[in-house]
Amino acid sequence: MEGIFSPEGFEEIGGGPLYLQLQRRIGEAIAAGRLRPGDSLPPERDMATMTGLSRVTVRKAVEGLVAAGQLVQKRGSGTFVAARVERLEQALSLLTSFTEDMARRGKSVESVWLARGLHAPAPEEVMALGLGAGDRVARLERVRRSDGVPLAIERASLSAGVLPEPEAVEASLYAVLEARGMRPVRAVQRISAANLGARDAELLDVPAGAAGLRIERIGYLPDGRVVEFTRSLYRGDAYDFAVELKLSPEAERIGR
């Protein structure tokens, strides 16, 4: 880190605000590879001493880089260079699981489990799954990671009759459902923008308030019964969802 936090080179006049000058230095060091993903920055007090800048100036510079996604702050651990996240394009025309999608790309998949168990259903689960009085619901909550990078938080709800043992799901939920003859064959999916709350942002290694995508999926069996109600949060800096559009038959006839 020699030179990055040197007191030389900061211009009081003509160079712009000092916090922006420090931001540029750190950003250029990241771009040049002198600071690599996972590298830790010195504590705020040390950076102020090394640069000759005030702690307020250093804090403002760091906060700007955190907001830009170049740095991440971990409570009790410090400030680190953020991992470079490859943007992924997901087609909306295919009904696949996260595990299947990443395997198709040749990427590794890991689940960090937050909760698995049987519960009394919440009102929205009763409505979505068509549950009756006294029915139980299986809930699966986990962070989905690919090549070590957290990409999504997945919260799936299924009838206990469909998934009586939630602990049986270790990797792919769809693989377990397929083995039981209950894999969904179609789904209705809704996507909306979201700003990530503090807890979800921490799980995804992004700043609180960062842009995300909220995805709600209801999956159906061949006979039309609802089998899956999943709510997911995806990192906005990692995913693009793409859909192919075609003219309707009527529009094609008019075009002729």
Reading phi first (left if > 0) and then psi (alpha if -120 to 50, else beta), residue 205 is in left
The helix (run of H) or strand (run of E) holding residue 225 is none
The pair of three-digit structure tokens given for residue 17, joined into one six-digit string: 């605000």
Q: How confident is the model at residue 219 (pLDDT cuts 50, 70, 90)?
A: very high
The whole-number average pLDDT for the span 198-221 is 91
Mean pLDDT to the nearest integer, 123-151: 93
| 72-79, Cβ contacts within 8 angstroms, sequence gap of 24 or more | 72/205, 72/206, 72/207, 73/207, 75/202, 77/40, 78/40, 78/41, 78/43, 79/40, 79/41
C-alpha dist (Å) from residue 75 to 44, 83, 97, 195, 207: 14, 17, 32, 20, 12
Q: Which amino acid is at 53?
A: L
Residue 117, classed as helix, strand or coil, is strand
Predicted TM-score (pTM) of the model is 0.69
Residue predicted with more confidence, 205 or 244: 205
Specify the DSSP element, H or E, that contains 186.
strand 186-195
Q: Is a pLDDT exceeding 70 seen at residue 87?
A: no
Contact 149, 87 (CB under 8 A): no
Q: By the 8 A CB rule, do 139 and 162 touch?
A: no
Where helices occur in the chain by DSSP H, the ranges are 18-32, 44-51, 55-67, 98-104, 123-129, 173-179, 198-203, 249-255
Structure confidence by residue, pLDDT tens digits, 2-22: 678 888 888 776 678 899 999
The single-letter code of the amino acid at 132 is G
Residue 251 pLDDT grade (very low, low, confident, very high; cuts 50, 70, 90): low
Is pLDDT above 90 for 102? no
As a whole number of Å, the CA-based R_g of the chain is 23
In the chain, % helix, strand, coil (3-state, to 5) comes to 30, 30, 40
Contact 119, 141 (CB under 8 A): no
Residue 68, pLDDT > 90, answer no
185, 204 contact by CB (below 8 A): no
**Statement: residue 28 has pLDDT above 70:** yes
For the chain, give the mean pLDDT. 88
As a whole number of angstroms, the distance between CA 229 and CA 157 comes to 5
Residue 243 reports pLDDT greater than 80: no
pLDDT at 96: 78
State mean pLDDT over 38-56: 92
Tens-place pLDDT, residues 164-194: 999 999 989 999 999 999 999 999 999 999 9
| 3-class secondary structure, 121 | coil
The predicted pLDDT at position 91 comes to: 65
CB 41 within 8 A of CB 22: no
Question: Rounded distance, CA 99 to CA 56, Å?
Answer: 44
Band (31; pLDDT cuts 50, 70, 90): confident
